[in-house]
A and B are shown apart, each in its own frame.
Chain A
Amino acid sequence: DAGVIQSPRHEVTEMGQEVTLRCKPISGHDYLFWYRQTMMRGLELLIYFNNNVPIDDSGMPEDRFSAKMPNASFSTLKIQPSEPRDSAVYFCASSFQGQKGANTGELFFGEGSRLTVL
């Protein structure tokens, strides 16, 4: 498997523009996570899905952020409109838990999408 694939790797946009980040998890994984990483705040969990269903989006900073997972092989994180303070590296990660219940397994991360909002 190619691992978790994120696109774009780098995005530079102007304030007010819409940004869409994409993630393809590892085939067969049933959990998908979106994280944001900044120097000031470290790694923040934004939202996670189980079997394509959003479970907890309490980490999503504002209504400007939205995430979808229309099928098991694709997820998007959208920011609209974008602001300079959204500049960060956004990571997608996936894991497989099956019937184990609580998510206790290893997370596989993508290489991240570095977003710069001017």
Chain B
Amino acid sequence: SQQGEEDPQALSIQEGENATMNCSYKTSINNLQWYRQNSGRGLVHLILIRSNEREKHSGRLRVTLDTSKKSSSLLITASRAADTASYFCATDGNQFYFGTGTSLTVIP
């Protein structure tokens, strides 16, 4: 399976701290995407990083990709209570495989 696996499964931090989540996958990819899911809602796309990119930024988000290690990380800087959600990585192919997600809780 190409399924991504996020680590840690759960993360609790104080508002203002940085949150780092990791994703590992098993096979070659064209790109890797990160999604966010608020409780009871659908997933929302955050950022896409292509296999020839090593780092990408979008606002308070920073994503890195290491294809040699088949891993990616998502960093959320200066976290806010509103960042509380589950975060998923997804690897491509002709179909998208999602990991089990990291549940992030930001304590005000």
* Contact surface of A with B, Cβ cutoff 8 Å: 4, 33, 35, 42-43, 45, 48, 50, 55-56, 91, 93, 102-104, 106-112
Indicate if B41 sits at the interface (CB-CB under 8 A): yes
The reply to whether A107 and B43 form a contact with Cβ atoms under 8 Å apart is yes
The reply to whether B101 and A106 form a contact with Cβ atoms under 8 Å apart is no
The reply to whether B48 and A103 form a contact with Cβ atoms under 8 Å apart is no
The reply to whether A108 and B95 form a contact with Cβ atoms under 8 Å apart is no
If over half of B's interface residues share one DSSP class (helix, strand or loop), that class is named, otherwise mixed; here it is strand
Chain A residues with Cβ below 8 Å from B99 are 42
* Contact surface of B with A, Cβ cutoff 8 Å: 30-31, 33, 35, 41-45, 48, 88, 90, 92-101
A33 to chain B, nearest CB (A): 7
Chain B residues with Cβ below 8 Å from A56 are 94-95
- Inter-chain contact total with CB atoms closer than 8 Å: 59
The reply to whether A45 and B94 form a contact with Cβ atoms under 8 Å apart is no
Rounded to whole angstroms, the CA-CA distance of A106 and B95 in the bound complex is 12
The reply to whether A103 and B96 form a contact with Cβ atoms under 8 Å apart is yes
Rounded to whole angstroms, the CA-CA distance of A104 and B50 in the bound complex is 9
The reply to whether B33 and A109 form a contact with Cβ atoms under 8 Å apart is no
The reply to whether A102 and B48 form a contact with Cβ atoms under 8 Å apart is no
The residue in chain B whose Cβ has the minimal distance to the Cβ of A6 is: B42
The reply to whether A102 and B94 form a contact with Cβ atoms under 8 Å apart is yes
Known: A107-B45, A110-B42, A111-B42. A42 touches B98 (CB 8 A): yes
A45 to chain B, nearest CB (A): 6
Rounded to whole angstroms, the CA-CA distance of A20 and B7 in the bound complex is 35
The reply to whether A103 and B92 form a contact with Cβ atoms under 8 Å apart is yes
Chain A residues with Cβ below 8 Å from B43 are 43, 91, 93, 107, 109
Chain A residues with Cβ below 8 Å from B48 are 106
A22 to chain B, nearest CB (A): 15
Chain B residues with Cβ below 8 Å from A43 are 43, 88, 98, 100-101
Rounded to whole angstroms, the CA-CA distance of A109 and B86 in the bound complex is 15
A86 to chain B, nearest CB (A): 19
The residue in chain A whose Cβ has the minimal distance to the Cβ of B88 is: A43
Rounded to whole angstroms, the CA-CA distance of A93 and B42 in the bound complex is 9
